[in-house]
Structure 1
Amino acid sequence: MLDNGIPVRIPPAPRPPGLGVHRRYAAYYAMSASIMLLAGAIWLSTRVRPNPAWHDIALFAHLASLVVGLGAVLVADYFFALWAFGRLSFAEAVHSASRLHLLVWTGLTGLVASGALLAPDLGSAATVVKLCLVGVLAVNGVHATVLGKRMALVDDPVPVRLLVRGGLTTAVSQLCWWGAVVIGFLNATR
């Protein structure tokens, strides 16, 4: 307000030109880095043969990482289910889910690192499918992080296009997580 009581709207500061381009490149670099790290873990798995004690430690770390990563994904999806049922605002759901990104990435990183020590059978088609699912999961995770930041800037009503992107991202995430879990279970029980 000015001194004479007239409300004045102060426009937001303009964004620097090209800021969106830099963010897009950062996302592409993050996607590339996640694929390269997965490839590095696959390469490492062909070179390292841990003794039984280290194998058991890696198996425990693998299962613990699964609990952390998939558990965080399920909780994040639960927040959006609460929003869909009118129990949370969209902003609350986005904010709550964004706090779980570290746990999701910690779980996924732990799965990849410990999986390298579990001597995966790279000649098995099921293992190759599982590794592809993990790669898609990593790229989708980067996309979900970027999408979450965009969703945090949105006011009600939420654009349908953004909801569709969020729904597709969630579907890909669930498909990859559960597909990898099922394949891992089947490989472990053979």
Structure 2
Amino acid sequence: MSYVPVSRRTIRLHRESERSTRRLVAALSGVAIAAWLLSVLLSAAVSVDGFVHDVDLVVHDLFLVVAFGAIILVDWHGFLWLIGRRTLGEIIRLDGAATPLIWGGLAGMLATGVFLSPHLDSPMTEVKLAAVLVLSLNGIMLIPLMRRLARLPARIAFKDLSTGQRVHLMSCLVVSQLCWWTAIIIGFINAQS
């Protein structure tokens, strides 16, 4: 057991930071669920055809490219960190730069998805919508871990993380990729019909 001297003030600030992170995660989860639900409900009430639908589909796909492209870039650099080719500091900086693209793209997809006239009675569409909700919540659940990682030394290796941190990171990565690919594949299948 090692002793690391920490002042009472540092301990208090850390606890306050953990509490504020939990409040942020709860608030963002509520916002994500509400935005997802609003998008689904409005898509049932709104119906567009022809040119407007086609333009909306193009814009929706552009938002997809922005969000998923940023996800792929972050995940790829995360893999490079895992095998020792990048530093944690590089990953944290890249994640900070990509976060607005990811969430902006996702918000744009929810907004444009309203006008795509989805077949809400189709089981495939239900799976796609569930995947979108899960990937949103999964991204929010990464916030506490990313905040903890940002406080670590920039050169720490993946293998030096705690087992819990490694499992959390890898499980979020797997859930993210499964949900994104599920939503994309079902979306393109539905666009053909």
Do 1:79 and 1:97's aligned partners in 2 also have CA atoms closer than 8 Å?
no
Q: Superposed, which structure 2 residues align to 1:18-97 within 5 Å? A: 18-97=16-95
Matched position secondary structure for 1:88? coil
Residue type at the aligned position of 2:119: D
Q: C-alpha offsets along residues 41-71 of structure 1, whole Å, 9 cap, x if unaligned?
A: 1111122122422211210111101100110
Structure 1, unaligned runs of 5 or more: 1-8
C-alpha distance 163-95 of structure 1, shift in aligned 2 (>3 A): farther
Aligned partner of 1:146 among 127, 144, 147: 144
Structure 2, unaligned runs of 5 or more: none
Q: CA deviation at 1:89?
A: 1.2
Match of 1:170 in 2: 173
Q: CA deviation at 1:145?
A: 2.9
Q: TM-score, normalised by structure 1?
A: 0.88
Q: Distance in 1 between matches of 2:6 and 2:129?
A: 51
Q: CA deviation at 1:138?
A: 0.8
Residue type at the aligned position of 1:185: F
Q: Distance in 2 between matches of 1:117 and 1:93?
A: 36
Larger-gyration structure (1/2): 1
Larger mean Cα displacement after TM superposition, 25-34 or 64-73: 25-34
Residue type at the aligned position of 1:29: A
Q: CA deviation at 1:159?
A: 2.1
Structure with higher RCO (Cα < 8 A, 6+ apart): 2
Write out the 4+ residue segments of structure 1 that deviate beyond 6 Å after TM superposition.
none
Larger mean Cα displacement after TM superposition, 126-135 or 138-147: 138-147
Q: C-alpha offsets along residues 88-120 of structure 1, whole Å, 9 cap, x if unaligned?
A: 112222222232111110111111111111011
Aligned pair 1:118/2:121, yes or no? no
Q: Distance in 2 between matches of 1:10 and 1:146?
A: 21
Residue type at the aligned position of 1:179: T
What count of residue pairs does the alignment treat as equivalent?
182
Q: C-alpha offsets along residues 10-38 of structure 1, whole Å, 9 cap, x if unaligned?
A: 96942345442232022011111101111
Larger mean Cα displacement after TM superposition, 165-174 or 24-33: 24-33
Q: C-alpha offsets along residues 126-169 of structure 1, whole Å, 9 cap, x if unaligned?
A: 00111000010110111123322221112333223211111111
Q: Distance in 1 between matches of 2:40 and 2:121?
A: 12
Alignment RMSD: 1.9
C-alpha distance 158-10 of structure 1, shift in aligned 2 (>3 A): closer
